[in-house]
Amino acid sequence: MITGASRGLGRSIAEGFLKEGCTVVLLSRSSKTEQQILEYREKNWKAFYIECDLSVREDRSRAFDDAIKLLDGEIDVLINCAGIQIRHPAEEFPISDFDEVLELNLTATYDLCQRAANVMLKKGYGKIINFASMNSFFGGYTISAYAASKGAIAQITKAFSNEWAGKGINVNAIAPGYMSTEMNINLINDESRYKEISDRIPAHRWGTGEDCVGPCIFLASRASDYLDGAIIPVDGGYLNK
């Protein structure tokens, strides 16, 4: 089960798992996802789509239950990739926008982790992969709500791991670096900031969705059975410099 798979990192990750022969259910509110599923099925990929608004708690609950039915009552892997970013100066950040960011980025992830774990615990096995951020490590500018949500993602990943690692569920997180996605379009269009960030990345480029596919497949596999509560930067070395 993958959230946020209609575009950006989530779409690349979903396609990576489909190429490996996995049955994948996408949770999305994008109208484009239905066409996306048709394209996948033309390739004989086992893809399903549940339309929902993850920021609405009742809709989120219904979508999870519908997805579990499509998966015959089971779930092996949950990937929480959905997220939004809203920018305001910190002293002007509206509390309504703060709530909107926290509901999708943090509360939805918390809720889906809990729901998935209750299925996984019955069989004593499962993999949960959350999406943290560089802003799990530092604060950023004009994105105080996003930074708060991603700092919290790192902490709930560790907290869930403490309780579930001994019960067969691995909970880890990917922390993408600066990625060439729609979410970062404002940074990409800011010539001086784009150059400043690019000059700091030892890999000399911004990341892509494909850069996150391999780490996610590793975390979803038996190869990561003794990896718990890790926040793994996929950042071209940005944090090292």
128 pLDDT higher than 90 = yes
Token output for 172: 């880890």
Determine the pLDDT at residue 241.
81
The dihedral through the CA atoms of 106, 107, 109, 110 has a sign that is: positive
* Residues 6 or more apart in contact with residue 86 via CB below 8 angstroms: 97, 100, 101, 143, 145, 146
In the set 146, 194, 226, 238, the catalytic residue is: 146
56: left (phi over 0), alpha (psi -120 to 50) or beta: beta
In this prediction, residues 33-51 reach a mean pLDDT of 94
| Annotation says 49 is catalytic | no
Go through the domains of the chain in sequence order and give each one's CATH number.
2-234 (3.40.50.720)
Query: CB of 94 within 8 A of CB of 88?
Result: yes
Condensed to tens digits (0 to 9), the pLDDT of residues 180-191 reads: 877 778 777 888
Beta strands (DSSP E) in the chain are 2-3, 24-28, 47-51, 77-80, 126-131, 169-176, 231-234
R_g (Cα) of the chain, nearest Å = 17
Q: What separation in angstroms does the CA of 16 have from each of 34, 79, 189, 200, 212?
A: 18, 13, 28, 28, 9
Of the listed ranges 44-53, 184-193, 222-231, the least confidently predicted one is 184-193
Percent of the residues in the chain that have a pLDDT greater than 70, as a whole number: 100
Helix, strand or coil, per DSSP, at residue 109: helix
What is the C-alpha to C-alpha distance for residues 84 and 102, in angstroms, rounded to an integer? 9
Q: Label residues 131-146 b or e (16+ Cβ within 10 Å = b).
A: bbbbbbbeeeebbbbb
Percent of the residues in the chain that have a pLDDT greater than 90, as a whole number: 87
Judged on CB neighbours under 10 Å (0-12, 13-18, 19+), 79 is buried
